[in-house]
Amino acid sequence: MIKVGSRDSRLAVVQAEEVMRRLGECELVTMKTTGDKILDRTLDKVGGKGLFVKELDRALAAGEVDLTVHSLKDVPMEQPDGLPLIAFPKRADARDALVLPEDGSWDREKPIGCSSARRRVQLAQLFPGIEVKPVRGNVQTRLRRLDSGEYGALVLAAAGLHRLGLENRISRYFSPEEMLPAAGQGILAVQAREGECRAAAQLLDDAETRVCALAERAFIRALGGGCFSPAAAYAVLENGMLRLRGLYVSADERSLIRGELTGAPETGERLGCMLAGRLRRQAEEET
């Protein structure tokens, strides 16, 4: 029986169960990661989102589990030797969503809560003058903090809210033109030991999602960014061509530069590198 490793948060378990239904009979093994335990500091202060996968990587390498399931946007750009990402199931909604308190009101004197620099810099452009404040914890914890009056609104990934059956909490969706998603947002990543679980990979992998995931991650990697970088990337296949949009943020966060490239799907990773170079050069010319 295949053992599937997951974080023990409700969303992570739901995501793992989504994969397990496709595989058939499996055993779920959950664990709390370092990233789940440290909630009083933002991720960039404690080592980045790699803290959400470290324990799972260790369990996979040790043979305690056969597969692990992650939110791709939480997975570091560089993978440990011998532990490749073997499958990217079909992408869910990649957009960010605005969530208001249960009564539907938005007190704009209170901060907007979000968990990433990427959202923070884009929110500053969308809603100038409204404070943006970090918020940590699982989705349910964040909603409790919102409903208790600590925040006026939250920005969360639409995919996670839908997977938890909480889509009724969404007040509005942000289009990619308003707020470019994180690289890999809405995508699950399945990881295994090198050369193993090939049948599972074939069953789970979605070719279109894979192309988009690799292009987005190539863009972030080419910028030298990690999971908590303000940079963003979003790729879609349109009429047989890959359209990649990217966001580059200057070091002082005063300049947000957007751009896009279109090319053949098989050139996705090269498109990511090319777009990163183009936006970086544009930023240098503007300074």
Catalytically active residues are 74
CA 99/CA 232 separation, integer angstroms:
21
Q: 75 and 12 in contact (C-beta within 8 Å)? A: no
Supply the DSSP string of 182-214, one letter for each residue.
PTTTT-EEEEE-TT--HHHHHHH--HHHHHHHH
Bridge partners for 153 per DSSP? 112
CA 53/CA 27 separation, integer angstroms:
19
Supply the DSSP string of 9-34, one letter for each residue.
SHHHHHHHHHHHHHH-SEEEEEE--H
HSE-CB at 95 with a 13 A cutoff on CA atoms is 15
Q: Is the dihedral of CA 78, 135, 142, 234 positive or negative?
A: negative
Q: How far is CA 58 from the centre of its chain?
A: 21
CA 270/CA 275 separation, integer angstroms:
9
Q: 80 and 58 in contact (C-beta within 8 Å)? A: no
